[in-house]
Amino acid sequence: MTQMRRVVVTGMGVITPIGNDVTTFWSNLTAGVSGVAAITHFDVTAFDCRIAAQVRDFEPAKYFITPKDVRRSDRFTQLAVAAAKDAMTDAGLTGAIDDPERFGCMIGSGIGGLKTTEDQHTILMNKGPGRLSPFMIPMLIGNMASGMVSMEYGLQGPNFATVSACATSAHAVGEAWRMIRDGDADAFVAGGSEAAIVPLGIGGFAAMKALSTRNDEPTKASRPWDRGRDGFVMGEGAGVLVLEELEHARKRGAHIYAELAGYGLTSDAHHMSAPLPNHEQAQRCMRIALGKAGLNSDQVDYVNAHGTSTPVGDVAETRAVKAVFGNRAHNGLLVSSSKSMTGHLLGAAGVVETVVCVKAIETGIVPPTINLDEPGEECDLDFVPHHAREQKITVAINNSFGFGGHNASLVTTAFAG
């Protein structure tokens, strides 16, 4: 039987509400810093939810060649290009790509160019169709981040964009892993981006009663597994990984952060937005990912949970973790939610949280779940409340579960030669 090719992480880039580079992001995450605050992108006077986790101090001009390029790209694409450039620089890939036909790009977005859609619809209603921008469609379509990054680096390998709500970037990373493993490419830029903190985005999610309305205490609004949780907090941002086949990375002397060892994906086939009560398909998703990695559940040290701070979702995921990990769930397994600090980055969440797993392995630090003052009913795992924990992490798994019943799990392991 042919041995499967191994896939390693050689570059990382993030743009998040708590840091626009991996170093700052990780420092703030492990310190328990919240990125949630009052929304400043637009006037929120009429909105029930007036808080979000916005990216701050982001200057797209630093990442684009001309001001015209900035004007012709939606914010989600700008964030993605920035994260991709940082990841490629981190990987030492700043020059010409040796074999561009073997280098793929997959950067998804759950929603795409919502600001462009909203702005252009306003123009249509107020000024008529003759005033619409000729760049409207290229700016708003969800695949444009992947397209722009591939153009930037001349990447001519597999190129497409996943769209599966909150599982989007986990699917992007997983499918890139699969194509490298199967020999369709030797390297990939993979991740996701989201920029939906606009009136239509906040108003739409609020209409579902999905968002926290703890407007007077924004830094305490995202509180996974806490008894007082009342919904998730919208976030924005982007994350990108450079993934390579092991020998490809070795040949060019790349620094290897960790190994991406397994990927699972399933569907609830149950409800547009609610998970199965016991999250049976999330259980199967984690088991598939561990199986692909050749690992048992008792070998896992850390779960970076989906942990969105919703009343139903947090309990369902807790039940799923207990079912998959058995005795291990209460015996040494650490579980935490980055979303307590970053808010929910939607289509960018999975890849940013994969970066968290890589950094936990690299540093031996597990970031906390902040705001977990009083665990809710059934929420009785070690959720690393309030403060980061020092512990050697060899195997980590992160979960992403999206509207529509899309489940994805990724297993990251310490690299062992």
Largest Cα–Cα separation, the chain: 64
DSSP for residue 4: P
DSSP calls for 107-167: EE-SS--HHHHHHHHHHHHHH-GGGS-TTHHHHHSTTHHHHHHHHHHT--S-B-----GGG
Are 35 and 16 in contact by the 8 Å Cβ rule? The answer is: yes
Clarify whether 105 is annotated catalytic.
Answer: no
Clarify whether 166 is annotated catalytic.
Answer: yes
Number of neighbours of residue 416 by Cβ within 10 angstroms: 6
Of the listed 171, 248, 279, 306, which one is catalytic? 306
In sequence order, which residues have a C-beta less than 8 Å from that of residue 177 and are 6 or more positions away? 7, 190, 243, 260, 263, 410
Task: Compute the distance between CA of residue 412 and CA of residue 410 in angstroms, rounded to an integer.
Answer: 7
In sequence order, which residues have a C-beta less than 8 Å from that of residue 238 and are 6 or more positions away? 13, 14, 15, 76, 79, 80, 82, 83, 145, 191, 192, 193, 194, 348, 352
Of the listed 49, 344, 379, 406, which one is catalytic? 344
Q: HSE (CB half, 13 Å, CA atoms) of 43?
A: 2
Of the listed 105, 166, 357, 379, which one is catalytic? 166
Phi, psi of 73 (to 5 degrees): -135, 140
Dihedral sign for Cα atoms in the order 35, 38, 41, 47: positive
Task: Compute the distance between CA of residue 97 and CA of residue 76 in angstroms, rounded to an integer.
Answer: 25
Clarify whether 306 is annotated catalytic.
Answer: yes
Active site residues: 166, 306, 344
